[in-house]
Amino acid sequence: MRRDGKGTGMPTSRPAEPLDRCRVLVVEDESLIAMDLEGMLRRAGCEVVGPVSRVEAARRRVEEDDAPSLDMALLDINLDGEMVFALADALAERRIPFVFLTGYGPEVLPERFKGRPITFKPYTQTTLLALLVEARRARGAEAS
Amino acid sequence: MASANEIFVVGIGASAGGIEALEGLFRSTPAGGGLAYVVVTHLAPGVASALPEIVATFTTMPVARAEDGAAIERDRVYVAGPDATLTVEGGRLRARPVPPEGRHHERNPIDAFLGSLADDAGDRAIAVILSGAGSDGTLGLKAVKERGGLTIAQGTDGSAPRHHGMPSSAIATGLVDLVLSVEDVGKKLVEYVGSFGALSGLVANGAEERADAARRRICALLRDQVGHDFAGYKERTFMRRVQRRMQVLQISDIDAYVELLGREHAEAVLLFRDLLIGVTDFFRDRAAFETLERVVIPRLFDDGQPGDRVRVWVPGCSTGEEAYSIAILLRERMEATGATRQVQVFATDIDDLALETARSGRYPEALLRGIDPDRLRRFFTYEHGTYTLSRQVRDMCIFSSHSVVRDPPFSRIDLVSCRNLLIYLDGEVQSRVLPAFHYALKPGGFLFLGSAETLSHRTELFTPVDKKHRVFQRRDHVDTPLTVAAFLSSGVRPAGGVGGGGTGLVGSGRGATPAALTLRRAVEARMLERHTPAHVVVNREGDVVYYSSRTGKYLEAAPGQPSRQVLAMARRGLRLDLRVALQQAAETRRPVHRERVEVDVESEGRVQVVGLTVEPLPDHEADPLFLVVFEDDGPTLARGETSTARLPSEEDAALERSERELRDTRERLQATIEEYETALEELKAANEELISVNEELQSSNEELETSKEEIQAVNEELSTVNHELGFKVDLLNESNSDLRNLFESTRIAIVFLDRHAVIRSFTPAVSELFSLIPGDRGRPLTDIASHLDVEERLHQDVRSVLAGQGPVERRVIRRDGRAHHLMRVLPYLDSDRAIDGAVLTFVDITNVVASERQQQTLVHELNHRVRNMLAVVTAIATQTLAWTPAPGAFAPAFLGRIEALARAYGLVSRESWGDVPLEEVLKEEFEPHALGDESRLAASGPKVMLRPRAALALGLVLHELATNAVKYGALSVSAGRIEVAWGVEDGKGEGADAGRRLVLRWREVGGPPVGKPKTRGFGSELIERQMCYELGGEVEIDFSRRGLAATLAVPAGEGLFDLAPGG
């Protein structure tokens, strides 16, 4: 077991390079999970945007603030009772890839998001990071 | 008599109209009387009977079908089934199945049962005969009575029997103890059983001397009242009969009974009859019958001419046992000697029902005990519990209705057997019946009487052959003393019979003179009749009081008013002499004689010379009578011849003329005789024919009787079946009405389809699902529009069910989505379990579906929360591990946080994810750190309710603060305390809620001095994250030297808390 210098991460195998300097919007209402995700993404070399706990706040970020440079988003589906799908629509419109994270089962996804990457709580960092890499790669393929 | 010993068993026989009678009986029978009841009826074999169920509705006692081998128990009712003959053996029921081929034969199930019951239960048997046609039960009842049981028949008061046959037949035997209405039977039975117990000790214990004295008194009373001495009777038997009468009368004290006996002649007669019961059985008085067989029977065959019939007359034959016994003896004799003479036994009685029983020749076993087993085998066939006499014996007997007192007797009889009839007749009638027997018998014929019977004072008619066994022979030299009506004036002796032999006057009911005629008198009568001159008897006035025969020659009816005046009637020539002679005789009181009185005899002037004698009769001083005698003196003469001497020539001519006349007359006589003989022959032939016609008629009659019985039996079966049907129809109506109500009340939609999917019926609830109206019955289901989403599937399902592919179950939804139903398609099975259609049921499960959905949502949400929580726990673990420098510190730190989380969750879940008071969250998180000292926390503030989210976040924050206090702050020393105060404060923002927030101030007092830590720990990070990120609030921590002070603020905007009313 080893610790990184910042002391905010978990010992883990270094994920693949493709996430380096990748700007990832984290939308998660549970602060401890948000904290954990933040640490994980940082250790993976990402730049974390957020985290934000409300759809409205997240949309502001996407539309005004960091949108142009946003690479990806990690979306908790239920934000204290509010569904994240409106935000997902906004991201899809901007062709920003995103990965759903939820405590529900797969049936929670509306038809239009079927096929989108999704992982379920409790998540493992490995699975989550692999999904992000996959999503990013898909976008790269689409862009080229 | 084994186990039935203790129980009184009531055998109830009923047939047509019996169900009503049974109802009346059982409804009024108190339960718990300790009796057992067995009901035997005439039921059609092979038809299931609902009688036990029907009877069960009448009584609270348990009712069961009588099964073979069942022990008879108290307070139960057993009902005989239709296919078996029921009997009793050793206190158990025996049901012998009737073979199918025997089912349509006649049976006497009631006789069979009662007969066996009499044997088995003895004096504890009770026979009850209720409504029914025919005469079944009579013989069984007889057997019960004979063994000392109680016998009851349904009477006509109360609810009268619908069919009188069976009870009337039983009553006619004279053996019924009680004739009651059915409503009284039950009560009477219970009383009877009660008195039985009281009486049974009568003979046995202690009271022996008293009983013996009573017996002697009863014997004396009987001797006085009915003239029969029972002193020689067996004491036990005698007393049992007495007891029986006492039970019937329900007198428990023997002295009271003796008193009654002395007072009422009728009771003496009843007791007398009871004492003589049983002697009508087959060969019952064995010794007497043996005497008959040995002494009389051979002579019947030996004495007569080979062509003559042997004729036996059994008057008062009742149910025929005596007649058949004699017929059997005759048959045996015929077979033994090869005699070919025809034998006829005329058995007569006035009771037609008894005759009917007798004709059928069927007897229950109990009545055949006295019979020799060989005879039983030879002359009887056993069938369904009864014995039937063989045809050959029955054919010998002709049963007919005849009164020995009222009707003219039979004639040319060889043997009259009249056992135990005379005891029922009083002396006057007896003295008329005995001459009738005498008349009926051929010369040398025999009379056979019962052992208690005598010839009383008619001993001149018969000579005893065997005194002990009452066998007598006719005295031939005695002319039957026929009597004419006593229309003569008193004192005038009847002068004898009118013609020879009997002419039907015997037993004709007119008065009989008690005096017996001696031979001498008979001779005198004959002499008077044939060989004495004509005479009359007159009184002092000359009125004739008596005529002899042939007085017409001297007397003729006088013109004018009819008169008995002899002088008015005297023919011419006689009158003067008669008047003078009568006067002289009256005056002198001596006989007066006149010779040669000429009397005109004919109109042609012929004259008869007569001698006239008038003689006063002795012993009539007050009203003297005179005998007037006319004596012819020679033949009649022409007028004038009397005074002139007759000439010889004239005499010759007269002689010649007379001889010629005589010759002519003889020839005519000869011709007449021949004609007469021819006519006689013809008459004889006609008579023969008549006899044979009569026989044919007789046998046709018997056949008719038999058919009638069969028809009657069938009729009864039909009537019973009809009753049962009626009962079933009632049940059916009830079920139908139940079903109709069920249909109308049920909210379950049901459609019945026939095998072509055509609608048979449906419940009203169906209209919710199909556009059905009542008129749609008979239309195919496919024609009907449905509101369901699966119309085509439904028809497919129906087809598959009709094809026998098993039931189908499916959830269906109304097209408008308003309701969910569970549809079941089931095969409709007929009574043979074959598919005869389909039943569609629709159960409304809308609520169930809604609940299922709700449940699914809940499970969903729970999953979500659990997974989220696991993610949180994982995050805490990850973060705690990353922030904890020393490996040993990880566990307490991690566990502390998990526990804090768990406590907050505990609070929240205790409120079912509702609001939680802030104070409780505080106390809950503080408590593990207070080390059991609540006073170290001073909490104050209004009652604020936190949302679960806020409660969880604040719970963690407070935990971190408390942990820190324990490690470094006020709680690390014993004097340290913590003060927590909170309140809702309005901020400076705008709008209703703007700036309004919950502020909680944490202040540590009395702890060691603290300083701001050099590195920021995870605890601080956690507090900040929770407050700022999670709750959108603020946190300020002041590391003052006096102690740590933290200010936590939660904005109102997110609706994370509420100020409780009054808080």
pTM, rounded to two decimals: 0.42
A vs B: CB pairs below 8 A: 74
Look at residue B645 in the predicted model and tell me its pLDDT. 43
Q: In this model, does residue B269 exceed pLDDT 50?
A: yes
Q: Give Cβ neighbours of residue B1056 (< 8 Å, ≥ 6 apart).
A: B946, B947, B949, B950, B998, B1031, B1050
Q: Which of A2, A32, A42 to mutate to test the interface with B (most CBs of B within 10 A)?
A: A32
Q: In this model, does residue B1 exceed pLDDT 50?
A: no
**Measured between beta carbons, which residues in chain B are less than 8 angstroms from residue A31?**
953, 1025-1026, 1029-1030
The token duo for B463 is 């000579």
HSE, CB side, 13 Å, CA atoms: give it for residue B867.
20
What DSSP state is assigned to residue B367?
G
Rounded to a whole number of angstroms, the distance from the CA of B828 to the nearest CA of chain A is 43
Q: Are B393 and B331 in contact (CB under 8 A)?
A: yes
User: b/e for B59-84, b at 16 or more Cβ within 10 A?
Assistant: bebebbebeeeeebeebbbbbbbbbb
The token duo for B75 is 């307070």
The torsion defined by the Cα of B557, B559, B562 and B564, in degrees rounded to 10, comes to: -50
pLDDT digits (tens, 9 = 90+) for B457-477: 777 888 888 888 889 988 876
* Alpha-carbon distances of B257 from A52, B45, B227, B243, B254, rounded to whole Å: 120, 48, 19, 10, 5
d(CA B640, CA B1062): 176
Rounded to a whole number of angstroms, the distance from the CA of B1009 to the nearest CA of chain A is 28
Look at residue B732 in the predicted model and tell me its pLDDT. 92
CA angle B929, B933, B937 (to 5 degrees): 75
Q: Are B1043 and B1007 in contact (CB under 8 A)?
A: yes
Look at residue B237 in the predicted model and tell me its pLDDT. 67
d(CA B220, CA B227): 9
- pLDDT, chain B, mean: 79
Pairing of strands B820-829, B808-813: antiparallel
* Alpha-carbon distances of B197 from B34, B211, B484, B518, B978, rounded to whole Å: 12, 17, 58, 59, 100
Q: DSSP per residue over B843-864, as a string? A: EE-HHHHHHHHHHHHHHHHHHH
Look at residue B233 in the predicted model and tell me its pLDDT. 64
Amino acid at B553: K
d(CA B706, CA B697): 14
Q: In this model, does residue B516 exceed pLDDT 50?
A: no
Is the CB of A39 less than 8 angstroms away from the CB of B1029?
A: no
Among B67-76, B95-104, B139-148, B208-217, the minimum mean pLDDT is found in B95-104
Q: In this model, does residue B358 exceed pLDDT 60?
A: yes
User: b/e for B368-394, b at 16 or more Cβ within 10 A?
Assistant: bbebeeebbeebbeebbbbbbbeeebb
Q: Which of B858, B859, B867, B1018 to mutate to test the interface with A (most CBs of A within 10 A)?
A: B867
Average pLDDT over residues B629-641: 76
What DSSP state is assigned to residue B29?
S
The label of the residue with tokens 């007085």 reads B551
d(CA B561, CA B714): 69
d(CA B89, CA B105): 24
Average pLDDT over residues B328-334: 89
Name the 3-class secondary structure at B95: strand
Rounded to a whole number of angstroms, the distance from the CA of A64 to the nearest CA of chain B is 21
* Alpha-carbon distances of B548 from B494, B498, B565, B571, B598, rounded to whole Å: 11, 11, 16, 16, 21
Residue of A10, A33, A122 lying closest to B881 (CB–CB): A10
Q: DSSP per residue over B1015-1040, as a string? A: S--HHHHHHHIIIIIITS-EEEEEE-
Look at residue B334 in the predicted model and tell me its pLDDT. 86
Is the CB of B871 less than 8 angstroms away from the CB of A123?
A: yes
Q: Are B394 and B706 in contact (CB under 8 A)?
A: no
Look at residue B716 in the predicted model and tell me its pLDDT. 83
Q: Is the ipTM beyond the 0.95 threshold?
A: no
Among A6-10, B209-213, B762-766, B876-880, the minimum mean pLDDT is found in A6-10
Q: Give Cβ neighbours of residue B344 (< 8 Å, ≥ 6 apart).
A: B309, B310, B311, B312, B396, B398
Look at residue B517 in the predicted model and tell me its pLDDT. 47
Pairing of strands B441-449, B462-466: unpaired
Is the CB of A33 less than 8 angstroms away from the CB of B875?
A: yes
Alpha helices in B505-638 (DSSP H): 519-531, 566-569, 575-588
Amino acid at B855: Q
Give the confidence band of B493 by pLDDT, cuts at 50, 70, 90.
very low
Average pLDDT over residues B696-707: 85
Look at residue B734 in the predicted model and tell me its pLDDT. 92
d(CA B84, CA A27): 93
Q: In this model, does residue B506 exceed pLDDT 60?
A: no
Rounded to a whole number of angstroms, the distance from the CA of A29 to the nearest CA of chain B is 7
Give the confidence band of B729 by pLDDT, cuts at 50, 70, 90.
very high
Nearest to B399 by CA among B278, B317, B457: B317
The token duo for B286 is 């064995």
Q: In this model, does residue A10 exceed pLDDT 80?
A: no
Q: Are B43 and B2 in contact (CB under 8 A)?
A: no
Break chain B down into helix, strand, coil percent, rounded to 5: 45, 20, 35
Rounded to a whole number of angstroms, the distance from the CA of B979 to the nearest CA of chain A is 27
Residue of B870, B881, B953 lying closest to A121 (CB–CB): B870
Name the 3-class secondary structure at B315: strand
Q: In this model, does residue A5 exceed pLDDT 70?
A: no
**Measured between beta carbons, which residues in chain A are less than 8 angstroms from residue B953?**
31
Q: In this model, does residue B634 exceed pLDDT 70?
A: yes
Q: Give Cβ neighbours of residue B140 (< 8 Å, ≥ 6 apart).
A: B11, B13, B108, B110, B111, B112, B113, B114, B115, B117, B118, B127, B364, B366
Look at residue A68 in the predicted model and tell me its pLDDT. 55
pLDDT digits (tens, 9 = 90+) for A53-106: 878 778 877 777 555 577 888 888 888 778 888 888 888 877 788 888 888 777
HSE, CB side, 13 Å, CA atoms: give it for residue B278.
20
The label of the residue with tokens 């209405």 reads B181
d(CA B419, CA B198): 36
Q: Are B42 and B4 in contact (CB under 8 A)?
A: no
Rounded to a whole number of angstroms, the distance from the CA of B862 to the nearest CA of chain A is 9
Average pLDDT over residues B482-487: 32
Q: In this model, does residue B787 exceed pLDDT 70?
A: yes
Q: How many residues does chain A have?
A: 144
Q: Are B111 and B360 in contact (CB under 8 A)?
A: no
What DSSP state is assigned to residue B73?
-
Q: Which residue of B has its CA nearest to A37?
A: B875
Chain B residues with CB-CB distance to A under 8 A?
Answer: 860, 863-868, 870-876, 878-879, 881-883, 949, 953, 1021-1022, 1025-1026, 1029-1030
Give the helix/strand (H/E) hosting B880. Answer: helix B846-883
- pLDDT, chain A, mean: 74
d(CA B320, CA B280): 8
**Measured between beta carbons, which residues in chain A are less than 8 angstroms from residue B872?**
30, 32-33
Look at residue A9 in the predicted model and tell me its pLDDT. 42
* Alpha-carbon distances of B828 from B235, B802, B803, B813, B832, rounded to whole Å: 75, 9, 12, 24, 11
Average pLDDT over residues B490-515: 35
Is the CB of A9 less than 8 angstroms away from the CB of B876?
A: no
**Measured between beta carbons, which residues in chain B are less than 8 angstroms from residue A34?**
1025, 1029
The label of the residue with tokens 């591990």 reads B881
Look at residue B423 in the predicted model and tell me its pLDDT. 72
Percent of chain B with pLDDT over 70: 87
pLDDT digits (tens, 9 = 90+) for B25-70: 888 888 777 889 999 888 776 667 778 888 888 888 888 888 888 8
Name the 3-class secondary structure at B269: helix
Look at residue B771 in the predicted model and tell me its pLDDT. 82
B195/B92: higher pLDDT? B92
Q: Which residue of A has its CA nearest to B858?
A: A104
The label of the residue with tokens 């005891």 reads B423
